Amino acid sequence: MEVFNPNPTVFAPTKSHRVAQFAKPHSLWLNDADSDQEGEYEDESNEVEAIDQDEIFELIRSISDPEHRSMSLEQLAVVSAPQITFDLKFPDRVTVEFTPTVPHCGMSTFIGLSIRVRLLRSLPERYKIDIKVKPGSHQSEHALNKQLNDKERVAAALENPALLEVLEQCLSTASLNA
Amino acid sequence: MRFPGHDDRAWHVAWNPTRSILASCSADKTVRLYTYTSSASEPNTLKFNYNTTIPTGHTKTVRAIAWSPSGKTLATASFDANIGIWEQEDSGEDGEKGEWECMSLLEGHETECKSIAYSSTGTLLASCSRDKTVWIWEVHPDADFECMGVLMEHSQDVKCVAWHPKEEILASASYDDTIKLYLDDPSDDWFCAATLSGHGSTVWTLAWEPEQGQYLASGSDDHTIRIWRRLPGQGELKFQCIAVLEGHDRSVYSISWTKAPPYVSQQAAADGQRNLGWIASTGGDGTIFVWELTLGDNEDAPHIRHSIITRIDAAHGVHDLNSIVWCPRPGMEGTFATAGDDGHMKVWKVQRTEEVGK
């Protein structure tokens, strides 16, 4: 496999401070180790609870980088909490920006797809997610953004068994560091 | 009205043009068929019954479906790159209804097939794919199909194909942000006769003005719908964008154009205008719009007017809507069906009071 960034800069991860309590119970990616914290977040009200930047970041920070599998997207500074923004008019519409480690990174589509799938599986159905690379961070920025937000192409990609297998591997770490 | 749905995202709905059947297809690889009846006591109400599920055998998502004009044949377009041709077996002597059988499997596309459409006479079938091609198939008896042309005009994924309602003109819409129009050269092959540029992103959906085909509408990822007018001219195709409909705030995934009920057209005529029908549109914002289009009586300087006569927010709850289709059958004016990411199909009617009943 072609190596796009042989020597990435590694950043220290932040400490996880809370568990994504809104994730669906059948989500594969939240393990039982979190269960002892569940009590803190019980909420008796039926109100739709807004989800904040940190909670969404919590879901994606520990996804593995496809090229450097032992490292997380957070460690490589591909994702960060401030890069998650909410539409002021529609709080259920979220834009997640990510920063490829190098402008020619051929794995960017895959990274964007892994973020999308992680959020698709974890966030309540009402959320509509747009995924974008940080402006100026990738040579094919426009093409990348277009592909990552084409629901038909995303749906077709997820019916590709080979791609899905690698995706599951990268997502399987997504709660272990939490 | 709402029905037991698919197990996964519903992508498309199609009304049978001659029989009381409505079909939907899904990422769950099946097609579901519903029958409907109108009751004499409540002529405004349709009663729907789940009829059957065709498992299809497609190995991936069934993305689109199309009925032949005769209503006898159903075509399925799948992400597995194949097209299925389905017909119902004759009912047996015991009166039991026949099963839907795969009569033919059209292979040719290299990647996901995205859309499929029969020409108005039913003699031609068009399909398109992420492989950037549009295929034109000639329909022969006994579910036999012959490929008449492979058009490689788009530089990207082709999302939608739509035949002109009267003539053999095909339109295709693409991820390359353009629309292309094709004609058959009697002495040669099918060729691209026009390219329409203007949309700022992927063109997802197309709909011809159903009466004369003088207009083409397109819906895009740029959140707008554009109306293109065919300019007069012998033997050539030229179109001009004459209106941009703004209202959606996410991608427009589906539009459908129907003629308005008689009371609407008559009122327009009384006001010195020509009614061009209604366009229903929907998409990633989960909202349905119904637009009324009218043309001033000055044909030399056509000015098209559009107004929103109905707006339905959260039509499938929090979910995206992927398909919206007017019922083409006489007496069913104002009725349309939608399909959404919730796996459900819904049927709606624009009431005369301009109030929409579920």
Q: Determine whether B143 is exposed, middle or buried from the number of CB atoms within 10 Å of its CB (0-12, 13-18, 19+).
A: middle
Chain B partners within 8 Å of A163 (Cβ): none
pLDDT of residue B358: 39
Average pLDDT, chain A: 82
pLDDT at B4 over 80: no
Q: Residue A40 pLDDT > 60, yes or no? A: no
When divided into structural domains, chain B yields a total of: 1
Letter string b/e over residues B217-227, b meaning 16 or more CB atoms within 10 A of that residue's CB:
bbbbbbbbbbb
User: What pLDDT is attached to residue B58?
Assistant: 98
Which residue segment(s) compose the domain that B19 sits in? Answer: 10-87+100-350
Residue A161 C-alpha, separation from nearest chain B C-alpha, in angstroms? 11
Could you tell me if B90 and B36 are in contact, meaning their C-beta atoms sit under 8 angstroms apart? no
How many CB atoms neighbour CB B259 within 10 A? 17
Nearest Cα to Cα of residue A128 among B348, B106, B249: B249
Q: Best interface-test mutation with B: which of A149, A152, A159 has the largest number of B CBs within 10 A?
A: A152
pLDDT value, residue B292: 96
Cα separation, B66 vs B56, in Å, equals 14
Interface test with A, best of B62, B132, B222, B249 (most A CBs within 10 A): B249
Tens-digit pLDDT profile for residues A47-56: 666 789 999 9
Give the nearest partner residue to B202 out of A125, A128, A150, using CB atoms: A150
CATH number at residue B333: 2.130.10.10
Tokens 């209202």, located at residue: B247
Closest partner CB to A155 (pick from B61, B221, B284): B61
Query: Does A30 score more than 80 pLDDT?
Result: no
Q: What CA dihedral angle connects B3, B7, B10 and B14, to 10 degrees?
A: -60
Q: CA A177, CA B83: separation in Å to the nearest integer?
A: 45
> Which residues of chain B lie closer than 8 angstroms to A126, CB-CB?
318
- For the stretch B151-185, pLDDT in tens is 999 999 999 999 999 999 999 999 999 999 999 99
pLDDT in tens, B41-79: 776 788 999 999 999 999 999 999 999 999 999 999 999
A121 touches chain B (CB under 8 A): no
Q: What is the mean pLDDT of residues B229-233?
A: 90
User: Would B54 be classed as within a structural domain?
Assistant: yes
* Sequence-distant (≥ 6) Cβ neighbours of residue B208 within 8 angstroms: B162, B163, B164, B165, B171, B215, B216, B217, B257
Q: Is residue B94 part of a domain?
A: no
Residue B320 lies in a domain: yes
What's chain A's Rg over C-alpha atoms? 16
Is residue B284 one of the residues assigned to a domain? Answer: yes
Residue A24 pLDDT > 50, yes or no? no
Q: Name the residue among A146, A151, A152 with its Cβ closest to that of B114.
A: A152
Q: Confidence class of residue A38 from pLDDT cuts 50, 70 and 90?
A: very low
CATH fold, domain A51-172, is GMP Synthetase; Chain A, domain 3 (3.30.300)
Percentage of the residues of chain A whose pLDDT score is greater than 70: 75
- Cα-Cα-Cα-Cα dihedral of A24, A26, A29, A35, to 10°? 80
The HSE-up count of residue A110 (CA atoms within 13 Å, CB side) is 21
For residue B106, list its beta bridge partners. B83
According to DSSP, the residues that pair with A126 across neighbouring strands are none
Question: Distance between CA B279 and CA B338 in Å, rounded?
Answer: 14
Q: Is residue B3 classed as helix, strand or coil in its secondary structure?
A: coil
